[in-house]
Structure 1
Amino acid sequence: MENLKNDCHVLLVTFPGQGHINPSLQFAKKLVNLGIKVTFSTSLTAFNRISKLPNIEGLSFTPFSDGYDGKFKGSLDEIESFYSSLVSHGSEFVTQIIESRAAEGRPFKRVIYTTLMAWVGIVAKGINIPSTFFWIQPATVLDIYYYCFTDYADCFKNCSEDQVVDLPGLPRLSPRDFPSFVFTDVNSKALRNLTMVGIGPSIPSAFLDGNDPLDKSFRADLRWSSENYMDWLDTMTKESVIYIAFGSYSEISSQLMEEIGQGLIKCGRPFLWVIREEKEGGYPEEKLTCKEELEKQEKIMRWCSQVEVLQHPSLGCFLTHCGWNSTLESLSFGMPIVACPLWTDQGCNAKLIQDVWKIGVRVNASEEGVVERDEFKRCMDIVMEHGEKREELKKNAKKWKDLAKEAMKENGSSNDKIIELPGLPPLSPIDFPSFVFDNVECNNWAAESIKSQIDILNSEENPKILVNTFDDLEFDALRILKNVTMIGIGPSIPSIFLDDNSFRADMIEISSKNYMNWLDLMTKGSVIYVAFGSYIETSSQLMEEIGQGLLKCGRPFLWVTREGPNEEKLTCKDELEKQGKLVSWCSQVEVLKHPSVGCFLTHCGWNSTLESIASGVPIVACPIWNDQLCNAKLIQDVWKNGVRVNTSDRGIAKRDEFERCIEIVMGSGKEGEKLKRNAKKWSDLSKKAMKENGSSTVNLKTYAYEFLLGGS
Structure 2
Amino acid sequence: MGIPHFLCIPYPVQGHVNPLVQFSLALAKHGCKVTFLHTEFSLKRDNTAASANNFEGSQMKVVTLPDGLGPEDDRSDMAKVILSIKNTMPARLPKLIEYGLGFGNCSQTRDQRLPTKNQAIQLSPNMPTIDTQNFPWRGFNKTLFEHIVQEMQTSELGEWWLCNTVYDLEPEAFSLSPKFLPIGPLVESDSNLSSFWQEDTTCLEWLDQQSPKSVVYVSFGSLATVEPNQFKELALGLDLIDKPFIWVVRPSNDNKKVNANAYPHEFLGSKGKIVGWAPQKKILSHPAIACFISHCGWNSTLEGVCAGVPFLCWPFVSDQYLNKSYICDVWKIGLGLEKDENGIISREEIKKKVDQLVSDKVIKARSLKWKEMIINNIVEGGQSSKNLNFFIDWAK
TM-score (norm 1): 0.51
The C-alpha deviation readout for 1:283-333, integer Å capped at 9, x for no partner, is xxxxxxxxxxxxxxxxxxxxxxxxxxxxxxxxxxxxxxxxxxxxxxxxxxx
Aligned equivalents of 2:296 and 2:260: distance in 1?
A: 21
CA distance in 2 between counterparts of 1:84 and 1:453 reads 13
- 8 A contact 2:3–2:31 mirrored in 1: no
Structure 1 residues 570 and 434, CA gap change in structure 2 (3 angstroms): farther
Question: Does 2:262 correspond to 1:568?
Answer: yes
Per-residue deviation, residues 572-622 of structure 1 (Å, max 9, x unmatched): 33x11x111111111111111111011100111111111101111111000
For residue 102 of structure 2, the aligned residue among 117, 122, 128 is 122
Q: Map of 1:73-472 to 2, 5 A cutoff?
A: 73-76=74-77, 79-99=78-98, 122=102, 194=112, 196-198=114-116, 414=118, 417-429=119-131, 432-435=134-137, 442-458=140-156, 460=157, 463-472=159-168
Percent of matched pairs sharing the same residue: 27
Matched, 1:629 2:331: no
What letter corresponds to residue 92 of structure 2 in structure 1? F
| Residue in 1 that maps onto 2:254 | none
Counterparts of 1:611 and 1:527 in 2: how far apart (Å)? 17
Given that residues 468 and 491 in structure 1 are in contact (C-alpha distance below 8 angstroms), is that contact kept between their aligned partners in structure 2? yes
Q: Which runs of 5+ in 1 are unaligned?
A: 103-119, 126-148, 154-189, 200-413, 495-499
d(CA) in 2 for partners of 1:446, 1:606:
18
Deviates more, 1:14-23 or 1:63-72: 63-72
Alignment partner of 1:639 is 2:331: yes
Secondary structure class of the residue paired with 2:131: coil
**Paired positions, count:** 384
- The answer to whether structure 1 residue 649 and structure 2 residue 344 are counterparts is no
Q: For 1:192-245, what per-residue CA distance to the aligned partner results, in whole angstroms no more than 9, with x for missing partners?
A: x8575346xxxxxxxxxxxxxxxxxxxxxxxxxxxxxxxxxxxxxxxxxxxxxx
- Displacement after TM superposition at 1:571 (Å): 3.0
User: How far apart are residue 643 of structure 1 and its match?
Assistant: 0.5
CA distance in 2, matches of 1:567, 1:522: 28
1:55 Cα deviation after fit: 2.4
- Alignment partners' CA distance in 2, 1:84 and 1:565: 26
Relative to structure 1, the CA distance from residue 430 to residue 516 in structure 2 (aligned partners, 3 Å threshold; closer, same or farther) is: farther
Q: 1:197 to 1:84 in 2, by over 3 A?
A: closer
- Superposition pairs for residues 540-689 of structure 1, below 5 Å? 540-562=228-250, 565-573=259-267, 575-576=268-269, 578-667=270-359, 672-689=360-377
C-alpha distance in 1, partners of 2:375/2:86? 37
**In the aligned structure 1, how far is the partner of 2:164 from the partner of 2:39?**
21
**Aligned partners of 2:354 and 2:382: how far apart in 1?**
33
Q: Which residue of 2 aligns with 1:48?
A: 44
CA shift in 2, pair 1:10/1:434, >3 Å: closer
Matched residue, 2:255: none
The one-letter code sitting in structure 2 at the alignment partner of 1:443 is: N
1-structure distance, mates of 2:349, 2:340 = 9
Please say if residues 528 and 601 of structure 1, whose CA atoms lie closer than 8 Å, have aligned partners that are also in contact: yes
Aligned in 2, Cα 1:430/1:548: closer, same or farther, shift over 3 Å? farther
Pick closer, same or farther for the CA change 1:534–1:194 going to 2, 3 Å. closer
> What is the distance in 2 between the residues matched to 1:526 and 1:582?
16
2:34: which partner in 1?
38
Could you say if the C-alpha distance between residues 680 and 121 of structure 1 is closer, same or farther in structure 2, counting changes exceeding 3 Å? farther
Task: Determine the C-alpha separation between the residues in 2 that align with 1:553 and 1:444.
Answer: 41
The answer to whether the 8 Å contact 2:124/2:172 transfers is no
* Contact map agreement 1:433 1:630 (CA 8 A) in 2: no
Give the aligned residue type for 2:33: K
| Aligned residue in 2 for 1:183 | none
Cα 1:195–1:444 shift into 2, 3 Å: closer
- Distance in 1 (CA, whole Å) between partners of 2:344 and 2:227 is 11
Note the C-alpha offset of 1:24: 0.3
Tell me which structure has the larger Cα radius of gyration: 1
Deviates more, 1:79-88 or 1:611-620: 79-88
Residue number in structure 1 paired with 2:68: 67
Gaps (5+ residues) in structure 2? 252-257
Alpha-carbon shift at residue 456 of structure 1 (Å): 2.2
SS at match of 2:340: coil
CA distance in structure 1 between the aligned counterparts of 2:70 and 2:36, rounded to whole angstroms: 17
**Normalised TM-score (structure 2):** 0.89
Deviation at 1:422, TM superposition (A): 2.0
Measure how far apart 1:556 and its partner are: 0.3
Match of 2:16 among 5, 14, 20: 20
Q: CA deviation at 1:663?
A: 0.9
Q: In the alignment, which residue of structure 2 is the partner of 1:502?
A: 191
- Give the whole-Å Cα distance in 2 for the aligned partners of 1:80 and 1:420: 27
Deviations 1:42-73 (A, max 9, x none): 21121211112332411110111111265544
Partner AA of 1:449 in structure 2:
H
1:504 Cα shift? 2.1
**Structural RMSD (CA):** 2.6
Which amino acid in structure 2 is aligned with residue 513 of structure 1? Answer: T
Q: Secondary structure at the match of 2:8?
A: strand
